[in-house]
Amino acid sequence: MSVYTNKTGAPSILKPFSGADRDRAKIAAANQVRFATPKEKGLVECIRIAVEDGDFHLVQEFTYFIRESDLDDDELLKVLTDARKIVHHLTPDFINVVEALMSLNWKKRSLGIIEAYKDFCVDVMVAHNRYLPNGICKLIIHWIPGDLDSAEWVNGNPSERAHTDLKPIHDALNRILTAVPMAFDVVIDAITAKFPYFKKPSHVTAGYLFNVLWLIEYKPVFEELILQLVLQKLLVLDVNAPRDEIDVETNDHDSIEDNVRSQQPSVNHPIGRTLDICLLMLYKFIDGKCRIEPNSCQQSRESANRVFKILLYLFDEVLLPSHNTHHVQFVIFQVTGIRSDYWDGFLQMLWNKVKNPNASAIIRHTAVGYLSSFIARAKFLPLSTITFYLKELSKWAHSYIDDSDEYGQNCSLKANMVFFSVCQGIFYLIAFRASDLTRCTKDLLFLQSLQLSRLAMCHFNPLRYCLAPVATAFAGVTRTHQLAYCHTVLERNARRKLATVYGHDKAMSEETLETFFPFDPYLLKLSNMYIEPNYLVYHDTETGDYAQTVTLPFHRKRGDSEMVEDDEFIVADKRQKY
């Protein structure tokens, strides 16, 4: 290049630079990046000079060297071996070089390098607790699959290569947790912080969940905290995958071709698919923990019971207070189907919650929904259990009526929410389980003993506040078997609402008990394999023509009045939405 540019003749700011000079500059630059001086001295010497003379210049240069250089296997092994020799000298004064060592690219290297890296990380975190947060995060971040690694993770199951890559990470964590008790809190914090965002691809969240559950396998002490975290994260997925969106998608597939629908690997809703895969993994984990073989040892039984008690506690703390959920609550449905002791404990807990006057009305109301929905849907429950809770619910409701003042009592929905919830639960169970409860004369005598007519026609008028499909189905069953005659009450309630509307010349809000039955039909396809065997599908056999004789409010939607569609006991727009 000349001193002047060819086009303008203006002086150039660049000096003449021949090809030979350019080659020499490249060589010099390469040598400069390699940091020849600290490499020759080595890490041990650099640290010795810093410790003895207080000169950190070489340590700083060595840090730049290992960060910027592309080390080959021999160099990397030498660096890690030297670092392990002086691990006790790597105090927090050398945090930069330690973090650089922990950030080395080691995963795709030889087995010797993997072992050397793992040994160094364990040793430095055991020797210096200051490095625990950063070191554990460096390990746990490898739990997160890449966005493009979907082929390595099919339905949350890693390929053989991915599993092999993860094993050293778990080995290192196991050794750290065994040697440093204070690392437990650090691990929990890191797992919580690194949990993937709920809109991440399905294989990313499922891959991370796989590793979280793997941690419990070798450190059961994490069971409660990890399961609580997992349920909380799945709830986020659940509320962002509304059942009406999944339901519409399922109906679209049904309308195209049933065979095509049956071959769908999962739902098409992206967040719903993530939830489906994660629940499949969680069900499999719980089944492996809680299913006890007849010849199991005492330790296995104790372990299974401990996991169930944790799940029952988490249901009370996490799931019961959560509203507008759709599928995560089936975790408790799945585990209770494993042993009779489990469903018995679950029902007792719910019933105690309903009876507890110190609990909030909304929690008691929700507990009634869980109790009635579970008894209605669980195939494995014996008839004796169904009749026991029907009797207990009826006894409680009759006592409530006895203790009230027929003329001075406030009969509003807000003041008597628990009573109306219990009545609706009774009506729902009788309508849903009618075929089981009316098989013989003995069963009908039991239903007569419940004094259903008194409940339905008391001054509180609970049928007025019940969901219309529940009230209609209950009226049909009781009329068919001559247990109560509710049609007059239903028609009077319907006329009262119509009179209100026409009298004010506008649509008034319907005063209806806001309810959801949490074990309504399960729409996820992959994880349904753990739910379907124990799940009872509703089929209307009792209401018949009677359902058409009751006039419901004017704003009723099409298909919203009777329980005549396949297992649509409660339509979507009537479910609980707080």
Tens digits of per-residue pLDDT, 25-65? 555 544 544 444 455 578 999 999 999 988 899 999 999 98
Does 257 have pLDDT greater than 50?
no
| Lowest mean pLDDT segment, chosen from 253-257, 425-429, 516-520, 535-539 | 253-257
Q: Assign 169 a pLDDT band (cuts: 50, 70, 90).
A: very high
Q: What pLDDT, on a 0 to 100 scale, did the predictor assign at position 118?
A: 93
**Separation of alpha carbons 227 and 239, rounded Å:** 18
3-state helix, strand, coil in the chain (%, to 5): 65, 0, 30
Q: What pLDDT, on a 0 to 100 scale, did the predictor assign at position 443?
A: 92
Q: Assign 390 a pLDDT band (cuts: 50, 70, 90).
A: very high
Does 548 have pLDDT greater than 80?
no
Quick: pLDDT tens for 90-119: 999 999 999 999 999 888 888 999 999 999
| Lowest mean pLDDT segment, chosen from 134-143, 285-294, 359-368, 520-529 | 285-294
Euclidean distance between the first and the last CA atom of the chain, given in angstroms as a whole number: 76
Mean pLDDT, the chain, rounded, equals: 83
Kindly state the DSSP code that residue 1 receives in the 8-state scheme. Answer: -
| Lowest mean pLDDT segment, chosen from 421-435, 451-465, 496-510, 512-526 | 496-510
Q: Is 23 exposed, middle or buried (0-12, 13-18, 19+ CB in 10 A)?
A: exposed
Q: What pLDDT, on a 0 to 100 scale, did the predictor assign at position 564?
A: 34
Q: Assign 18 a pLDDT band (cuts: 50, 70, 90).
A: low
- Per the model's pLDDT, the better-predicted residue between 83 and 265 turns out to be 83
| Lowest mean pLDDT segment, chosen from 64-68, 235-239, 422-426 | 64-68
Q: Is 542 exposed, middle or buried (0-12, 13-18, 19+ CB in 10 A)?
A: buried
Count up the domains in the chain and report the number. Answer: 1
Of 239-243, 252-256, 313-317, 480-484, give the range with the top mean pLDDT: 313-317
Cβ atoms within 10 A of the Cβ of 500, count? 15
Mean pLDDT of 372-382: 96
Assess if residue 312 is contained within a domain: yes
Amino acid at 454: R
Does 498 have pLDDT greater than 50?
yes
Q: What pLDDT, on a 0 to 100 scale, did the predictor assign at position 574?
A: 43
For the entire predicted model, the pTM comes to 0.83
Q: What pLDDT, on a 0 to 100 scale, did the predictor assign at position 20?
A: 62
Assess if residue 226 is contained within a domain: no
Assess if residue 217 is contained within a domain: no
Does 5 have pLDDT greater than 50?
no
Nearest to 514 by CA among 375, 361, 404: 361
| Lowest mean pLDDT segment, chosen from 289-293, 412-416, 457-461, 559-563 | 559-563
Q: What pLDDT, on a 0 to 100 scale, did the predictor assign at position 315?
A: 97
Assess if residue 94 is contained within a domain: no
Q: What pLDDT, on a 0 to 100 scale, did the predictor assign at position 260?
A: 37
Mean pLDDT of 12-37: 52
Assess if residue 65 is contained within a domain: no
Q: What pLDDT, on a 0 to 100 scale, did the predictor assign at position 26?
A: 53
Nearest to 173 by CA among 138, 129, 210, 128: 138
Q: Are 331 and 279 in contact (CB under 8 A)?
A: yes
Tell me the backbone φ, ψ of residue 105, rounded to 5 degrees: -80, 105
Q: What pLDDT, on a 0 to 100 scale, did the predictor assign at position 329?
A: 96
Q: Are 82 and 51 in contact (CB under 8 A)?
A: no
Mean pLDDT of 422-428: 95
Percentage of the chain surpassing pLDDT 70?
80
**Separation of alpha carbons 48 and 80, rounded Å:** 16
Encode 508-527 in three state secondary structure: CCCCCCCCCCCCCCCCCCCH
Quick: pLDDT tens for 429-459: 999 999 999 999 999 999 999 999 999 998 8
Does 334 have pLDDT greater than 70?
yes
Percentage of the chain surpassing pLDDT 90?
62
Q: What pLDDT, on a 0 to 100 scale, did the predictor assign at position 408?
A: 57
**Separation of alpha carbons 427 and 388, rounded Å:** 15
Residue written as token pair 């203790």: 403
Domain housing 419 = 232-574
Assess if residue 160 is contained within a domain: no
Of 56-70, 194-208, 460-474, 491-505, give the range with the top mean pLDDT: 194-208
Does 576 have pLDDT greater than 70?
no
| Lowest mean pLDDT segment, chosen from 142-146, 206-210, 341-345, 558-562 | 558-562
Assess if residue 268 is contained within a domain: yes
Quick: pLDDT tens for 279-313: 999 999 999 999 887 777 888 889 999 999 999 99
| Lowest mean pLDDT segment, chosen from 17-31, 62-76, 391-405, 453-467 | 17-31
Assess if residue 285 is contained within a domain: yes
C-alpha distances (whole Å) from 321 to each of 333, 359, 364, 433, 567 are 17, 12, 10, 27, 26
Residue written as token pair 């909380």: 232
Of 1-5, 26-30, 208-212, 290-294, give the range with the top mean pLDDT: 208-212
